[in-house]
Each structure stands twice: as C-alpha cells, then as structure tokens.
Structure 1
Amino acid sequence: MAENDPTADPVDEAFAAYLRSCDAGELTSREDFLKQFPGVADQLKQLMEAADLLGQVTLASGLSSSQRVADHGAKTVALNLAEGEQSNVDPAITLPMAPRAKNDPGPTLPFDLGDYELQHVLGKGGMGIVYLANQKQLNRMVAVKMIRGGMLADESDVRRFYTEAQAVARLNHPGIVPVYQFGQRAGHHFFSMAYICGSDLQRKLYAECLDPKQAARYVRDVARAIDHAHHKGVLHRDLKPANVLIDEQDQVHVTDFGLAKHMDGDSSVTGTGAALGTPHYMAPEQAGGLSDRANRQSDVYAMGAILFACLTGRPPIAAETVMQTLLDVVHNPAPPVRSFRSDAPVDLETIIAKCLEKNPQKRYASAGQLADDLDAFLDDRPITARPRSMPVRIWHWLEGVPLVAAVSGRRMVSASLSHRRFQAAMLLLLLMTPFIATGLALLWQQHKESMPRIVRFAGGHENGVYNTVSNSIAKRLQAKYKVTTAVASSNGSLDNRTRLLRGEVHLAPVQASAISGDPLCVVAPLFFEVVHFLVRQDANVNTLSDLNGHRVAVGPLGSGSRATTEMVFESLNITPEMAVREVLAWEDLQSDTAPDVAVICIGLGSPLVANLIRHHRWQLMSIPTPIQISLQHPTLRPMTIESRDYPGIDIPAEGIASVGTTAFLAARTDTPSELVTATLQTLYEPPTLCIGMIPRKHAAEWQGLAFHRAARQFFETTETAD
C-alpha cells in the first residue's frame, strides 16, 4: 500500500510499518512502537496479538518461523512452530492483495499451492471455497479453504477470512475441525485444516429425518464443542446443519467459523445493522441487524434450530424470501416441533422451545447447560427445562393473528394461512355476535323459565297445615305434569324462608313477615293464620298481667310463631324479663313439664290446637287491643276465633279476640315461570286444599304484594275473566 495514498487505512499503514520494523530488526518493544500511533493503538495491538496467536498454533507445514517463500512475486508466510515457540513474523502480512499477471486466468485443478496440491472442490460457502488437497511434505489429505473471490476479494473479505483462522486457532477440541496452517500464495489467502472424511448433517437431513435419540446426540456433541469455544472467548454465529461434519465413525465436527467473534474484544468485521448468519438458523438479535449483540445464547438458538431441523427435516422458520424469513425470525414465534412430527418426545420439544425463545435471557445460559439437558434426555432422566404453560402457548399463537397483534402492539410482518383463517372466523363471529347473543339469551331465558326435572317443596310441622298444602300441591303437579316432586318437612315459616334463600327448594309456605326485604316473592296468598294464646287451666293466668314470672313456649327454631309472638309482646309491653321465652317443639306441650303458656300462630281449626285443648287441659285466652297491634305491625290484622272453628270446644259466643297474619306460597324471584303457572293452576283446582284457603278471585284482589311475574300475569288474567 503506497504511503502517499490519501485513501490508505491508518491501521494497515501502521501494521505495515510494524512488519517492516520486524524484518529490519529495528523493533525495540511493542509498547514504544504503539506510542507512535496513538490514534489506532488499540486496533494495532489486536492485530499484533492475533498474529502471535496464529503463529503458536499453525504446526503442520514443516517450515521454520523465519522462512519466507517467494511465489509469483507475492510474499507468503507459512508457520510451523514448536509448542510455546515465539515468532517475530506476523501472519497478518498475508492480508494485503497480491499482484497478479494481467492474463492469468487463476487457479485450475489440480493446482499446485506450494506444499499443497488442490485436487477437487469439497464445498462452497458464502465467502469461501474448500478444496481437498494433498499436503506433499507430510503426505496427508487436508482441506484447504480459500476466499471465494480469490484475488478480487476486498479488504473486509480478507479480514473476515483472517478472523476465522484466528478464531479456530484458539480452539483445541475433538468436536472442532482444527486449523493447520495459514498463508498466502499466488495472491490467494488460504488456510489448511483437518480433512473430515464423511458427510455433513445437512446431507443427512436431505435423506430423512433423524431418530430423536440420534438427533439429540448430534446436537449434544455440537453443544459440547461450542461450549469449549465459548470458554475460549469465541462465538460461532453461523451454526447450521451444513457446518456440522460427521465422520465415518459417526462423530461430529464443527467447522466454518467465518462469522466468528471474539468475546474478549470486538474482532468482528461487522457492525450494528448487519444481519450475519444463515437466515433460517440465526438468532432474532442477529436477524434484526444486531450482530454486535450476539452472545452465547445466539449460538444456543442456532443449536435449537438445528435440533428442530433434525426432527422435522426443515428449519423452524422458513418463508418464501430471505427478507421475509429474517422478519419472521425477529417477530414470529417458532412453531412447536410436534406440529410437524407428532411422535417427537415432549422433553425434546421442551428443550427446543427453550433454545428458540425470542428473548435471549429465556434460553439456556450456556451451551453446556443445553448439552446437560440433552444428556438427561438421552439417559431418560428429568430435564431442567420446563414446557410453556397452555395459556402462554395459546397467547403466543394468538399474537400471530393480525388483529390481535395490532391491538397488543406486536409488530406483525405476515400471517400464516391458519392465522388468516382464524381472523376471518373472528370477524365473522364479531359480525354475528349480536344475533348469536340474542339467540343465546332467548335460549337461556327459555331454559330458566322451563319446568325443572325435580320440583322441591318445603313443608312444615308433620301434622301442620304447611305440610298438608305442600304435599297436596306436589301430588297434583306430579299427576298432571309428570314431574318428580319432593317435600321436605321443616320447623315452619323462618326455616322455609332460609331454604328458599339457599335455593334448596323451589316453593314453600311462609308467613307475610318472612317475605319482606328479601329476594323472595309471592306466588299466592294461601290462608290466614291466627295467634292462639294458650294457657294451662291450672296456671292461674287469666290476663296478660298474670304472665309475670311464667315461661312462654314460642315454638321450635325456624317457626313463624316466634316472630309473631315477639310482635304481639312488643305491642303489649311484655318484656323477656316478665315472660321468659322458651324454644320448644309443639309435641312437648303435651308433657307435664311444659311451660304454663304457649303462643302458636297457626291456621284456624288446627288439629294441634284442638288436641291440646281437648286432652291436655289447655285453654284459649283472648289478646287485648288487637286493632292497636295491627296498626303497629301491618303484617298482622285483628281476627276472632269462633266456636265453628273448633267444634266441641267451649268458646264464648262473641268469640276470642286475637290477631292473625297471612300465609303465602312463596318462591325466589328467579323461579321458572312455567313452574309458577303450573302450581297456580293446580292450587285452585277443586277440592280446596285446606280449611280457610283464600279463593282465586279474592287472591287476585290483593294489591301491593311482591308477586312473581308469572303469578301477577296469572291473577291479571283472573281479573279479566271475571
């Protein structure tokens, strides 16, 4: 390179001056020499160290460190140093272009390249061509790699070629093809390396997909070799099946470090913005033009892609064009292995998925960890990688739908046929949603309003009116509508209210006070219940003032009598201190230890009350001021117990004053309308279900009740018919 050339590279000029100083023996120390070129000192120092490294590992030519060979006017240096021997001759002298005769057509095969006779082409790559050669001096077959552009190669090609030799020179692993010698002859840069007799992984994949165990073994061995390279500070950056050689003993050897990068110093010949590698196997960070950010996980990604290809016969991401492939690698997730090969082991699919993560931090931290997991798979041991959860896999697939990608902010380049079809279905579904929603709502409403398969009732005391009414309605429904019915005994109104609220029963009789303020409604008013104020004949209780100090039975837990009693006592100012309330089953009133007073709110003509009066010396006592009580508690009304209500029992002609409430057939507001209508139709069929039942015509006249929607419609029809 001419010193007065204005376009000359300062680094090349400084390095040429360094070589001239070495040849003339004028170099005192490298440190002093570097001080002369402060602007390029760092780059110059890297070239010096790289040249020294090559000089230490190229051991095959048989030439001494000071030997120079003139060939076609070009200066060529071939090195063969004993282990640990130092050299002052820097191999970088071979980097400049060699002069060439105007009419020289270039090498033809066989071609004499000094100690090597190139015989035929073994393969071609993007920038290099590999020949099978005979190394004459050692009488062995080697592979010789030369720059594909020959003497037309530019400086970047030469530097990249030099970087490959430098990278491999650092490595000493049985799974990596070793470099023997580096040099330049006849203007052609070359380096020789071991000749691997066999095939490469790509050719095997052309023939057939590999057995999972065999594929795992191949990639495991590649991972061990690459792990060694990483520990020596070398990234491969171009791993692919074609760069994995398989010898006759079925052992793998990694080759082609043409895009290698030293991790301890940026020896890469590319910068940000260059996408280096083979598109189908390069990591997303490389495909996106961030090759300067490539790290160990980038090579891990490539090994995962190789394992994917071994199992499926195709790379994980492949598009119609190179540009499309690069964009898909960056933005689209790799498909699962089992979508192409259903018999692929789940563990192997999990390992591949971890390698092919878009985020480098989610991949294996090192090639060694990948090799360990593959060893575990080969030994049928648990692997460390965990499969993606189903929600994550579904979300990753949905992100490939253009509409979803647009909403989520994910960059979408292209969509697969399945994603486009899914989107079309989504749009059609979106257009049909109002109609579908309306139809589903109608179906759901129809389902909710239809007759249940089993209709459940709550009754009451075993011999009480509640139980009689519930059983009668159940039998009529079963006979007329062929449905299954069930009636459960209970303690009374409050117990029935609780069962309705829990959804345990569909229908139940309750007192008026049990309906207000709850999500319950009225199906029909049934009959009036009267407060029966009973006292023992020998208790000396003739008026309410005589209650002081006496126990008062108010019924079992869940009985409506308890709530009614409290309303009556509140109006009459009878406190718990005056009359102690006692929870007691009605059957216990027949015993001699029963309290002296009992308050029972029940329908007129009750067999329970009649039996207590006739056989157990109880008598009825009137309640004073029933009108005042009803004004304070609207659910109560003044009533009179007459002799006709209890034939054979001594009741005054004017009757016994009392208060009463209304028993309603109640349901939840969401009870099916079909059931409510059917119940009302059976309720008013003759004969009447019980004494004192409120007729349908009178029930329709009730105002202000929280009727069930079907019941209101039923009674409105009754009014119209009348």
Structure 2
Amino acid sequence: MSTVYLAHDPHFERDVAIKLLPHELLHHPTFRRRFEREAKIVASLDHPAIVPVYDFGEHDGQPFLVMRFMPGGSLADRIKAGPIPLMEVARIITRLATALDEIHLRGIVHRDLKPSNILFDQRDEPYISDFGTAKMVYGDTKLTETGGAVGTPAYMSPEQIQGESNIDNRSDIYSLGVILFEMLAGKHPYESDTPLGLAVKHIFEPVPHILDTNPDLPVGCQAIISRAMAKNREERFPTVSSMAEALAAEVLLTQNPQLLDRSKSFTGSFYRPYLSHYGQMNRRAVWQKWLLRVGVAIGLALLVGAFVWQWQGTKVVAGGNETTRIAIVSTAVSPTTSIIHTPSPSPSTPISSPIPTTTPTPQPTMT
C-alpha cells in the first residue's frame, strides 16, 4: 500500500529507494502507524540480510522512508524465468534464514513474505524487505485491527488467513515453504482465479507434490516442503534455520551420493548437523534403505557361514578325528546361539528393524 521511487542522494552520491505513503492513505491511522513502525523495526534490526533504512521523515505531511536501492531485482523476477537450481535455492534460503530467525527472536513476525519482497543487491545477495505488515508478538500495541487477516493470500498460512491473533514464527515458515515450492517448480503450488480461492486451498487442500512438477529434484525436497507447509503449525520446522539445514543436507546428498552408502556418514560430526532437523519422511527412507542393505549382507554372510560349518562337520567325520575337529567347530559356532552381526548405529538412533538370523543344525557324531 505504498509507492517506491528510485532517487539519487547528492550528498553521498548514491542511488536510493524512497518509499512514500500515498496521499489517499494519509488520514488512515492504521496505515500511517504501520509506515512509522516499519521504519523503527528495520532500524532496530540492522541485519546484513535485511534492506537497511537510511532515513525517515515527512515532507508536506507525507511520510517517507529512504532505503538502500537493490539493483539486482526481486525473486519474483527470477521465478518468472523458470525453476531455480536447487543449489541456488539453498543458498538463498540459507542467507534469509539468519535474518528471519533474528526477527523472530525479537518477537516480530513478518506476515508478508513473498518473492516480490525478496530483493537482490549488485553482488547477487538476497535481502528481506517491506515490514509494513509486521506484527510484534510480545508488544503492547498492534499493527492491525483485532481479528483482521493481513498479508498476501497466495502466501499466507492457514492460521493467518483465518485471522488468528496468536500467530508466531511458524506462519513465516509456511510462507517461506510456499516460496520454496515456487522457486523449485517455477510456479505457485496452488492455482485459483481469485484471492479467496487461493485462501481456501491453503486451508483445505493437501500440499502438492513438487516431483510432479519437477521430477529431476531429489525425493527429499518433497519432505521439506511438506513439513514447511504443514496445515498444523505444530508439525512445521521450529525455526527457519532448521529448514535451511534440511535443504542444505539435500544439496549435500545430491553432490555426494556415496554418503547414503556409508554408515559412518550418519554418525560422523560432519554430516550430523545437516540432519539435526531433517524432515522425518526423508530420514526414515534413508535409514530403511541402509538397514535393508545391511540385512541382506548379514543374511548372505550367515548362509555362507552355515554352509562352511556343515562342510567342516562332514569332513571331520570322514577323516576319523571327529571328536577334536567337531569341538573346534562347535566353539566357533554354537548350535544353540544365533549368529548376529550388528553394525555400529548412531548412538541416538536405535535400529528397530529385525535382522535375519540363522541357527545351524548340529551334525551327528560317530560313536
């Protein structure tokens, strides 16, 4: 609800962006209060991934904000060109995560995260902008009327659409999940001709499958998006950084597929941070795949061991020194003890899948 102009600052000889509150909204107390609060919020944050405010004031009764000019355009412009590579998406999300977690720690919810509010500088670094609809979770004053739904319907969380007053950081996480889908797919997860139609789909329709739109993506991307866009906010990522870590882990697996075949990769200090908040769907699939391979290997080893045991027992009987030789075999493999070779799992993740065992049949001895 504001207008932004490109201007030039002659004192510092730099281009700036000037944000003005339109004349038709000057007498509306809510919009004026939002405009003033935005300046104070951004000035107090001072984060490298948030568009900085240089100045704030009024001219002929019209409030204005002087901000840093972002010559790299917006994320919306880039999405129009098609899907963005996974590695670049992870880079963008990781940088924005630090800024969003910072504002959330200060009790602020952005409430209007969308591609057009993510801007890039001349070095291709992303920034968060437009805190005009931000909400102070722990503040004494509100920026919106009680029960009002504020934001852009295409990116609003279900609880935000329904006008709940106690929204928190997980509402922004939902919005970022929608943006993540859009970056990877090149289109919005839901389609409708009206804002109301989009709002209804956010509340009732299941999260679309990203692989149906972009089948070249790793399977784990669906788990990340599903968790970020969960209808129940209790099921979402607890922080934006945990969501970024899950995405970084997916990139790591894409670049290093051998990590899936090495049990030590799951317990090593290098890989553990990337799985600390990983989507449960993908983690379960990885462990099941790993346990299946271990189970098959153990089963083959037991079959070979049983065959060797039987062969040695037969050879002992034929050789005439059966008592001594059979005693040696019985010491190595007791007929009453199952042979179980258990790999070293992560201390924090017990192996619950059964491991096949084989109990050899004792060979008769000659008397």
Smaller-chain TM-score range?
0.5 to 0.7
Q: 2:178 aligns with which of 302, 305, 310?
A: 305
Q: 1:245 aligns with which of 119, 127, 133?
A: 119
Are 2:227 and 1:354 aligned?
yes
Q: Distance between the aligned counterparts of 1:373 and 1:227, measured in 2?
A: 15
Instruction: Say whether the 8 Å CA contact 1:283–1:329 is kept in structure 2.
Output: yes
Q: Distance between the aligned counterparts of 1:187 and 1:230, measured in 2?
A: 33
Instruction: Say whether the 8 Å CA contact 2:110–2:134 is kept in structure 1.
Output: yes
Q: Distance between the aligned counterparts of 1:233 and 1:250, measured in 2?
A: 29
| Aligned amino acid, residue 245 of structure 2 | D
- Cα displacement (A) at 1:152: 4.3
Q: Which residue of 1 aligns with 2:45?
A: 171
Instruction: Say whether the 8 Å CA contact 1:133–1:143 is kept in structure 2.
Output: yes
Q: 2:153 aligns with which of 279, 285, 290?
A: 279
Q: Distance between the aligned counterparts of 1:363 and 1:151, measured in 2?
A: 37
Are 2:226 and 1:332 aligned?
no
Q: Distance between the aligned counterparts of 1:151 and 1:257, measured in 2?
A: 17
Q: Distance between the aligned counterparts of 2:66 and 2:175, measured in 1?
A: 26
Are 2:240 and 1:367 aligned?
yes
Q: Which residue of 2 aligns with 1:205?
A: 79
- Cα displacement (A) at 1:138: 2.4
- Cα displacement (A) at 1:141: 1.5
Q: Percent identity?
A: 36
- Cα displacement (A) at 1:266: 4.4
- Cα displacement (A) at 1:217: 1.5
CA separation of 1:312 and 1:213: change in aligned 2, threshold 3 A? same
Q: 1:184 aligns with which of 50, 58, 66?
A: 58
Are 2:112 and 1:218 aligned?
no
Q: Which residue of 2 aligns with 1:155?
A: 29
Instruction: Say whether the 8 Å CA contact 1:338–1:349 is kept in structure 2.
Output: yes
- Cα displacement (A) at 1:147: 1.0
CA separation of 1:388 and 1:369: change in aligned 2, threshold 3 A? closer
Q: Deviations over 1:191-221 (max 9, x none)?
A: 1111111111000011121111111221221
Q: Distance between the aligned counterparts of 1:322 and 1:189, measured in 2?
A: 30
Q: How does 1:576-591 map to 2 (within 5 A)?
A: none
Larger RCO of the pair (alpha carbons < 8 Å, separation 6+): 2
Unaligned runs of 5+ in 1: 1-126, 391-722
Q: Deviations over 1:497-521 (max 9, x none)?
A: xxxxxxxxxxxxxxxxxxxxxxxxx
Q: Distance between the aligned counterparts of 2:190 and 2:141, measured in 1?
A: 29
Q: Which residue of 2 aligns with 1:386?
A: 280
SS in 1 for 2:67: strand
Structure 1 or 2: larger strand share?
Answer: 1
Q: Distance between the aligned counterparts of 1:139 and 1:232, measured in 2?
A: 34
Q: Highest Rg: 1 or 2?
A: 1
- Cα displacement (A) at 1:242: 0.6
CA separation of 1:266 and 1:276: change in aligned 2, threshold 3 A? farther
- Cα displacement (A) at 1:159: 0.7
Q: Distance between the aligned counterparts of 1:363 and 1:266, measured in 2?
A: 27
Alignment TM-score, normalising by the size of structure 1: 0.35
Q: Distance between the aligned counterparts of 1:279 and 1:151, measured in 2?
A: 22
SS in 2 for 1:293: coil
After superposition, the CA RMSD in angstroms is 2.0
Q: Distance between the aligned counterparts of 1:208 and 1:229, measured in 2?
A: 30
Q: Deviations over 1:608-640 (max 9, x none)?
A: xxxxxxxxxxxxxxxxxxxxxxxxxxxxxxxxx
Structure 1 or 2: larger helix share?
Answer: 2
SS in 2 for 1:142: strand
| Aligned amino acid, residue 341 of structure 1 | N
Q: Deviations over 1:134-167 (max 9, x none)?
A: 2233222111111134564411110111121122
Q: Deviations over 1:95-143 (max 9, x none)?
A: xxxxxxxxxxxxxxxxxxxxxxxxxxxxxxxx11111112233222111
| Aligned amino acid, residue 170 of structure 1 | S
| Aligned amino acid, residue 106 of structure 2 | K
Aligned residues: 263
- Cα displacement (A) at 1:306: 0.5
Are 2:192 and 1:319 aligned?
yes
Q: Which residue of 1 aligns with 2:69?
A: 195
Unaligned runs of 5+ in 2: 254-270, 285-367
CA separation of 1:151 and 1:269: change in aligned 2, threshold 3 A? closer
Instruction: Say whether the 8 Å CA contact 1:150–1:188 is kept in structure 2.
Output: no
